[in-house]
Amino acid sequence: MEPSKLHLWKKSKKIEPIQRIDETIPLWLLSEPELPIVRNLARIQLARAESLSSEELDGIPASYERQLSDQAIMCRETIRRASLARSGIGSPERSEREILIWSSIDENHTAFFENELAWTRSLRAKLKELR
């Protein structure tokens, strides 16, 4: 795939046929990574929630907090299981570099949810002080 077509492929997120995977993936791996999406529905709801009562407003971050807590637990479990799999029989053969990359990705996911959880708890505490 020529570079100009790679650019169009990346922007449209077009799925290439299976026979083209061997050509496409190495080019995609060398393309520039995308930044994460920072906006989410909970923040948009909070930004527009001025007309809600204090109890109704607290329901938004309370619900979000429960979801974040569940996700953080699942991420920690993923890390725990990956650690067990690396040390156990039947684990896939991976290089030290691949193990490091996957471990770092898992830790980053966990840190994201834990940071978002801390922010949500802090916001709820500040909102309660305003009552």
C-alpha closest to that of 121 among 74, 65, 71 = 65
Tens-digit pLDDT profile for the chain (131 aa)?
Answer: 444 444 444 555 565 555 566 666 777 788 898 998 888 899 999 999 999 999 999 999 999 999 999 999 999 999 998 888 776 655 667 788 988 898 899 999 999 999 999 999 999 999 999 87
C-alpha closest to that of 73 among 110, 47, 26 = 110
Query: pTM for this structure?
Result: 0.72
